[in-house]
Structure 1
Amino acid sequence: MSDQNRNLTWRNIALMGFVMVWGFGNVVLNFATQGLTVVFSWVLMIGLYFVPYTLMVGELGSAFKDSQGGVSAWIRSTTTPMLAFMAGWTYWVVHIPYLAQKPLGLMVALSWAVNPSGAWATTIKELNPIILQSIVLVIFLVFLYVSTKGVKTLKVIGNIAGTSMFVMSLLFIVLGLAAPAITGKVATPNITMNSFIPKFDFNYLTTLAMLVFAVGGCEKIAPYVNNTKDPSKNFPKGMLVLAGMVAVCALLGSVAMGMIFNANEIPEDLMMNGAYYAFQLLGEHFGLGSIFVIIYALANTAAQLSALVFSIDAPLRVLLAEADSNFIPKSLSKTNKNGVLVNGYIMTAILVSILIIVPALGIGNTNELFITLTKLNAVVMPMRYLWVFLAYMGLKKASSKFKTDYKFVKSDKVGFIIGLWCFAFTAFACIMGMFPTDVAAFSSEWMFKVALNLLTPIVLVGIGLILPAMARKSNAKEESQSTIQQ
């Protein structure tokens, strides 16, 4: 690529990556699971996991700077076509639990936007889970239909809303840290150094998946290494600045949460409504009423709408647009006159509908349902990061075949070990995240949640393993028909 097209600086890379990776919800969700001890967890997570993760992505982006296929292309170049297909499949299929939860998040955001007192949100929380999830299913199916029409305007609105939420997240940190000066007190009493140190027990290990879930996704920035000025210098610099920005927002955001919420008495629905409670409290502290919660709720409503439509269509197109007929039946790539992947949409509808209804059958509380689906996402979504680390290990194992402008570490053996560490840690966090700690161990609800967390990734990945056999059968049938016609 000519220098004329290399117009991105390290600042651009850092900001683009930050918007892709970070959000205020990451602070709220992890504070809800750990309280102030999450500050220490962020330090460990960013130093031992996120920094090497971002720098590995930098090296992979440098090694495959001409590739636009992302992780599946990295896997194809470093391993086998079958694993490349599974990487692409995983990147699509982890969106199924995400899509199953998104309509509920949309309902909550809209309720706060219309009624900033939280009364409507309380009504949603008190609904019977079966009734609620039936409404969620209808909302999903409506937007599944809408996504077939292509709503570019909604995606643009979503981008604007995403930027607005980013600004609101920074505003929360500033106002949250300043709140004690206004109120004259800190919500969490008797804060000492020990308040930030977690107990490294089984319960703590089950919260790691949420942390991994929060910091993942920086590989989305890798294709831009080819558009970066002096990529061997500026791309890794941008990724390091990204890690620093995430660290500052995570640490200060968590401390700010402790300023306005009592970390020793965390509201049971903080995961579901915590972001709105936070801005509601800030509005009260600064004498501005409901203005903050309304702005945040409106921005989040628009972002949720856009994300729901975009996450139905875009990942499916990535999977099927250039599908290898050896692994994916051609029937799944069938499009109608409007270019809609009809059978792909049907497959999406079936899988998401099942995952919307099934959890409601075993969980009798709407707030618990929201928490369960959030934690399910934290178990399933990081599975796609495993392929990043596998690709990096493959790159280190065959480094002589690839030319890179930038290397995270000079030693291939050390690089391989770091990649293996991140792979093993991600897998361990996902496995530990399968065990709920909010209900009695081995109770019927505990068993249901464990089964849901265990079977969901097995089934979703298992379907991907079945598709190549279906593709072979479909191809053989087509060849047979072609021979007969000749």
Structure 2
Amino acid sequence: MGASEQKKMTLVALILMIFTSVFGFNNIPRAFYLMGYGAIPWYILSAAAFFIPYAFMMSEYGAAFKDEKGGIYSWMENSVGPKYAFIGTFMWYASYVIWMVNISSTIWVPLSNAIFGSDRTSTWAFLGLNSTQVLGILGICWILIVTIVGSKGLQKITKITSVGGTAVALLNVVLLIGAIVVLIANGGHLAQPVVSAATFVQSPNPNYQSSISILSFLVYALFAYGGIEAVGGLVDQTENAEVTFPKGVTIAAIIITVGYCVGIFLCGIFTNWNDVLSAKNVNLANIGYITMQNLGYQIGQGFGLSEATSLTIGAWVSRYTGLSMFLALTGAFFTLSYSPLKQLIEGTPKKLWPGKMAELKDGMPKNAMWVQCAFVVGFIALVSFGGDAAAKFFAILVNMTNVAMTLPYMFLSISFIYFKKKTSINKPFEVYKNHSWVVIVTAIVTFIIGFANFFTIIEPAVRGDLKDTIWMIVGPVLFSIIALLIYSSYEKRTKGEV
């Protein structure tokens, strides 16, 4: 069997790959923290109006361009044009840079949970530096280590990724079995009671009472389904791609949606929002560990064990959660430190990049990885030494990531209309055969993304927190300007070469 045949993915392997790329365990406790059971309808709406139709768009692109190396850049370049493709892809890539800035500083929360059984990062002070600054320095060390190891090649990376994926898959099993055990032990009584149908619409969170804040939650639901476009580039590695790929996408989409909705409900079985999640020290970075620690505690209480024993069980469940999340994030971080960058460089013209940026050594864009590393280091230093408390620091980063990560979806969905119009593109697999249907689906997907981002951006300003709104706008605007500058410089340099 040749090397290329060995690498071909089966349907099951593809579903697992999509599941691990898209499904984020942390999205479950986060959703419950922000909206309670009220998150469930939004996750279903996002799956129906965004994730499933968008996943089909990606599989149509993927099947049509399965021989192209540049992923989403090639898709948009062939459909609309190179400048549009570059701005969309650069923003998509830049959102992963923001993600790396975010994770470099927040990956210490799961590590703290793994070691101590609780999040102690807010107490970490060293040589007169406060906790936010210490996390910033740790984050800078982290990205340097990842870049050194990552630039050495692919084999090392795949090993880390597989361990992390398995650990988090087991975390979902712990949540499911643990919640059922608590439910039985409490005689079918839910910690977060379902009073009426309104329980599945209203949020117990005082910050999510206004219609604007509830609508802004939609971006969290969309964000929970992010990552499918990265999988679109795997079509050429899938056996019998025209049939297997769309089937895999559909099955994975249904499993992920059901998984999220069931997971959010399970949180309510053992977590009373006001008793557990209303404390000041609960934030978006540590909510997953607090929820799982509470699961361990409630299991102990359900079996009539002492307070001390229940707390010990809680600490151990929190340690396991921390270790699993640390491994999974490490795996994802290594993959994403080179994968989007490689796709950007392989898809775009070599002359677009200054100097030796576009060079690949050992299949890795080593020079570009170091430039990327320098950018991440600069960004971490800016945010962590710019003042403000830890919760605010995490919130700004999460907000910047959400908006910057979901905007490129609009580029891809708008480009889909042009893709369908071009008869010169061979389309071996088509879900959307009717032009009116293409326009309707594109309009719905684009509207949902725009709508979610609009409300996410204006929501802090409406609350009087203009700074957050500005940060969310800064991310995408900054990256669009950088992309335009890079592209216009390339156009000037190559003007006389045509």
Q: Give the shorter-chain TM-score range.
A: 0.7 to 0.9
1-side partners of 2:150 and 2:234: how far apart?
A: 27
1:214 is matched with which residue?
224
SS of the residue corresponding to residue 295 of structure 1 reads helix
The question of 1:164 aligning with 2:167 is answered yes
> Is the contact between residue 121 and residue 131 of structure 2 (CA under 8 Å) also seen in structure 1?
no
1:153 is matched with which residue?
156
Residue identity opposite 1:129 in structure 2? T
Q: Deviations over 1:286-317 (max 9, x none)?
A: 34554433222222222323333333333223
2:418 is matched with which residue?
394
RMSD: 3.3
The question of 1:108 aligning with 2:116 is answered no
Q: 1:229, CA displacement in angstroms?
A: 5.8
- For residue 357 of structure 2, the aligned residue among 332, 343, 351 is 332
1:46 is matched with which residue?
47
> Is the contact between residue 88 and residue 408 of structure 2 (CA under 8 Å) also seen in structure 1?
yes
1:404 is matched with which residue?
427
The question of 1:441 aligning with 2:463 is answered yes
**Gaps (5+ residues) in structure 1?**
480-486
Q: Deviations over 1:28-78 (max 9, x none)?
A: 222222221001111211112211112222222222233332211111211
TM-score in terms of structure 1 length: 0.85
Residue identity opposite 2:156 in structure 1? T
> Is the contact between residue 327 and residue 469 of structure 1 (CA under 8 Å) also seen in structure 2?
no
> Is the contact between residue 85 and residue 327 of structure 1 (CA under 8 Å) also seen in structure 2?
no
1:123 is matched with which residue?
123
2:305 is matched with which residue?
none
1:484 is matched with which residue?
none
> Is the contact between residue 76 and residue 84 of structure 2 (CA under 8 Å) also seen in structure 1?
yes
- For residue 474 of structure 2, the aligned residue among 434, 455, 472 is 455
Q: Deviations over 1:217-262 (max 9, x none)?
A: 2123334445656655443332221121012111110001112222
- For residue 275 of structure 1, the aligned residue among 288, 299, 312 is 288
Residue identity opposite 2:199 in structure 1? S
2-side partners of 1:349 and 1:233: how far apart?
A: 39
Between 1:201-210 and 1:352-361, the stretch displaced more is 352-361
Q: 1:270, CA displacement in angstroms?
A: 4.3
2-side partners of 1:275 and 1:423: how far apart?
A: 30
Q: 1:382, CA displacement in angstroms?
A: 1.3
| Distance change in 2, residues 1:435/1:353 (3 Å) | farther
Between 1:10-19 and 1:463-472, the stretch displaced more is 10-19
2-side partners of 1:65 and 1:135: how far apart?
A: 40
Residue identity opposite 1:312 in structure 2? S
Residue identity opposite 1:191 in structure 2? V
The question of 1:372 aligning with 2:372 is answered no
| Distance change in 2, residues 1:391/1:178 (3 Å) | farther
| Distance change in 2, residues 1:234/1:473 (3 Å) | closer
> Is the contact between residue 170 and residue 249 of structure 1 (CA under 8 Å) also seen in structure 2?
no
1:297 is matched with which residue?
322
- For residue 376 of structure 2, the aligned residue among 330, 340, 352 is 352
Residue identity opposite 1:192 in structure 2? S
2:206 is matched with which residue?
none
Q: 1:432, CA displacement in angstroms?
A: 2.3
> Is the contact between residue 110 and residue 325 of structure 2 (CA under 8 Å) also seen in structure 1?
yes
Percentage identity across paired residues of the two chains: 21
**Gaps (5+ residues) in structure 2?**
203-208, 301-312
2-side partners of 1:435 and 1:156: how far apart?
A: 42
| Distance change in 2, residues 1:254/1:339 (3 Å) | closer
Q: 1:457, CA displacement in angstroms?
A: 1.1
- For residue 314 of structure 1, the aligned residue among 317, 333, 339 is 339
> Is the contact between residue 106 and residue 304 of structure 1 (CA under 8 Å) also seen in structure 2?
yes
1-side partners of 2:349 and 2:114: how far apart?
A: 44
1:82 is matched with which residue?
83
State the number of aligned residues.
470
1:96 is matched with which residue?
97
SS of the residue corresponding to residue 137 of structure 1 reads helix
2-side partners of 1:366 and 1:79: how far apart?
A: 42
2-side partners of 1:226 and 1:264: how far apart?
A: 49
- For residue 255 of structure 2, the aligned residue among 241, 245, 248 is 245
The question of 1:193 aligning with 2:229 is answered no
1-side partners of 2:185 and 2:154: how far apart?
A: 44
SS of the residue corresponding to residue 285 of structure 2 reads helix
> Is the contact between residue 137 and residue 356 of structure 1 (CA under 8 Å) also seen in structure 2?
yes
Q: Deviations over 1:398-444 (max 9, x none)?
A: 2x33333332232122112211321232123223222354x9733xx
Q: 1:8, CA displacement in angstroms?
A: 5.0
1-side partners of 2:246 and 2:154: how far apart?
A: 35
Question: What are the equivalent positions in structure 2 for 1:420-431 lying under 5 Å apart?
Answer: 420-431=443-454
> Is the contact between residue 183 and residue 285 of structure 1 (CA under 8 Å) also seen in structure 2?
no
TM-score in terms of structure 2 length: 0.84
Residue identity opposite 1:403 in structure 2? N
